[in-house]
Each structure stands twice: as C-alpha cells, then as structure tokens.
Amino acid sequence: MRRAHILGVGHYVPSKVVTNDDLAKIMPTSDEWIFQRSGIKERRFIEHDGIGPSDLAVPACHQALERSGRSLKDIDAIIFATLSPDADFPGSGCFLQRKLGLPGIPALDIRNQCSGFLYGLSIANAWIQTGAYDNVLVVGGEVHSTGVEFTERGRNVAVLFGDGAGAAVVGVSDDPGKGILAVKLHADGSGAEDLWIPAPRSGYMPRITHEMLDEGLQWPQMNGKQVFRWAVEKMPEVAREVLADTGLTIADIDLFVPHQANRRINEFVAGALDIPAEKVVHNIERFGNTTAATIPIGLSESWADGRLKGATVLSAAFGSGYTWAGAVIRF
Ligand code: UT7
C-alpha cells in the first residue's frame, strides 16, 4: 500500500498582536490570571472586518506548497478543518478553492474543532493510501476574535482564543520509512455541551431570537474544568494508542507537537508520557488557542526551525465534541 506523508507545511497569522494587557483594558481580566492559568501572553486578531479563515489559509497553503516542492496544479483535493467557517454554508474549503484558483477539485469541510487537523490528516491519509488522490491540502484555519464575548460573562473563553491558519501538503511518501505511521480518531458526544455555541440552532424557528441574544447564547459556553479533566486523560491515552500501533516507544519520539489549548494541559500530558520538556513544542504564549490551526502552526514553526528533519513526531489533540486524536509522523 502507498504510504502518505506530510510533504510540506506552512502557516499564517494576522499581524495584529493583542496582549493580555490589551484585553484587560476592555474587560475585567489580567495578564497574571491569563498567563498563570493558560500560559498565554498574546494572540493574533484579524486586522479588520472581512477577513475569514479561508483568507488566512491562502498564504499558509502557499508556504506549505513551496516547502513541499509541489505546485498548485499538483493539488487534487482540499480538506478544510474549522469551527469558525467563513459562512454557515458553503464550506470554507470552497472559498479557499476559489481563492487559490483550483476549480473542479473537491473541497471538504470538517467540523471537529481542536482535533480537526488530525481528523483531516486521517482522511487525506486514507485517500492517498487507496490511490483516490495524490496530493491533498489539509488546512486548519480559524477566526475566533469576532466570535467571543469581551465581557465579564465571556472572559473565561475570550482570553484563550486567537486567529490563524496552518496547512499541510499531504502526498505519497517516496521513502517507505517516512510518512504518516499512525493516526487515530475518537469522539464522545456526552460532553457536547461542555464547549459549544448554543445558538443559532436549526431545531428552532427562528433559529435565533432577541431573547437568545440577550442570554448570550450566540457566544461559546465552556465548562473549562470539565474540558481540562478530559483533555489530560484522553491526550496521553491516544498518544499511547498511536505509539502502540507503530511499535514505537516514547524514547523513539524526537518531537511532541500537541494541540495548544493550555500550556498546563500540555505540560501535564508530556509529564504523564515522560516526554522531556525540550521535546515539547509550545507556542500558545504567542498565538493562544487557534483550534484546528494549532497543530499545523506548530509543525510549520518546527519545520522552519529545522526540528522536523529526520524527526519522528508525536501529535495529540483534544477539544469540543468531545473529539480527540493522535498521530505519529516520521519526517
Ligand atoms: O481547545 C479547546 C479546549 N479547551 C480547553 O482545553 C480549556 C480547558 N480549561 C482550561 O484551560 C481552564 O479551565 C481555564 C484556563 C479555561 C480556566 O481555568 P480554571 O482554573 O478552570 O478557572 P475557572 O473557570 O474555574 O475560574 C476561576 C475564577 C472564577 O472566579 P471565582 O468564581 O473563583 O470568583 C472565574 O470567574 O476565575 C474567574 N475568571 C477570570 N478571572 C480573570 C474566569 N475567567 C477569567 C479571566 N480573568 N479571563
């Protein structure tokens, strides 16, 4: 069977830096609270209205293509992971396809939140293994800054998220030793309401009312402590599962690129797995949580630092749904 590989990875974040102190000017919070609880110092927000996740994805895709040695004409499918799509419908993949100038190729949106990139990677992996496609763009892109509430009511969520995009060109590995060695996906809908946006809802007519808006149901609601508990249990679990699939052990792992929801979560997970601190990629202090984009951004920065060359990389994510996933990739 053909083995799929990440041939190149890129990212893009908007230029507008928003520090914790900036947020403290518009709602009751502080740099100390945010940094101590999450490890975040600053995040990026879109510079002006009208910039959607598909716009952020365009430069990320071009960087991934350049690094992969592939060109746009080689791409034969797009998978776009986002929880903050450009519009309710059609999917951001269609907007991205138009902006890249790739008419005719399939564009699939997936809705798997923080695990979205690894879910997308799993689909691309299967497509490539079966010969359905040769080169797939797997994208994670989010614009959160327009979808969180900068008030005391929304501050537990608003301080955590940032805007950004990451992209990978997934193609056929030319070396059987390299590529996606394992990828595993999970979900448990019993926690769906622990991190969600209650409205608009298609089960209501109309889907949103003035009363719902007054209640703030259009903003994300999070049971942070519950999500934290699940994350620190499920991320090590799925990491062990993908390692077992490959026959590798933690000692074989050169780099751990986890989802970036909270630095404390990732330190705990790395500790539970006995991964030394120097092998763990953290960038939450600069970007906050960019949901589906965190893992490709982490991979892209590691590519730029030269840390992916020849490396065996472990990745794991946990988030809304609940969904969680893990992967082992050898570069
Ligand atoms: O990728 C998506 C998945 N999401 C996650 O993985 C998030 C997981 N959860 C977490 O990371 C943590 O639960 C948080 C960082 C979100 C919050 O930390 P916590 O220790 O669970 O805090 P908390 O929500 O229990 O709030 C503690 C206190 C509360 O005040 P009282 O009731 O003790 O007086 C909150 O009102 O902190 C208050 N608070 C804030 N204070 C200042 C909540 N948000 C803020 C804020 N600034 N931004």
SS3 sequence, 230-269? HHHHHHHHHHHHHHHHHCCCHHHCCEEEECCCCHHHHHHH
Query: How many angstroms is it from 223 CA to the middle of ligand 1?
Result: 9
- 3-state class (DSSP) for residue 315: strand
Go through the domains of the chain in sequence order and give each one's CATH number.
Answer: 4-172 (3.40.47.10), 179-330 (3.40.47.10)
pLDDT in tens, 6-51: 999 999 999 999 999 999 999 999 999 999 999 999 999 999 999 9
Nearest CA to ligand 1 atom 3: 319
Query: How many angstroms is it from 113 CA to the middle of ligand 1?
Result: 19
Residues 77, 15 contacting (CB under 8 angstroms): no
Encoded tokens for 303: 């590519």
- 157 CA closest ligand 1 atom index: 16
Query: Which positions are annotated as active-site residues?
Result: 114, 259, 289
pLDDT beyond 90 at 110: yes
pTM above 0.85, yes or no: yes
Q: How many CB atoms lie within 10 A of CB 277?
A: 10
pLDDT beyond 90 at 134: yes
Ligand 1 site, CB within 6 A: 29, 33-34, 37-38, 114, 155-156, 159, 195, 224-225, 227-228, 231, 261-262, 265, 289, 319
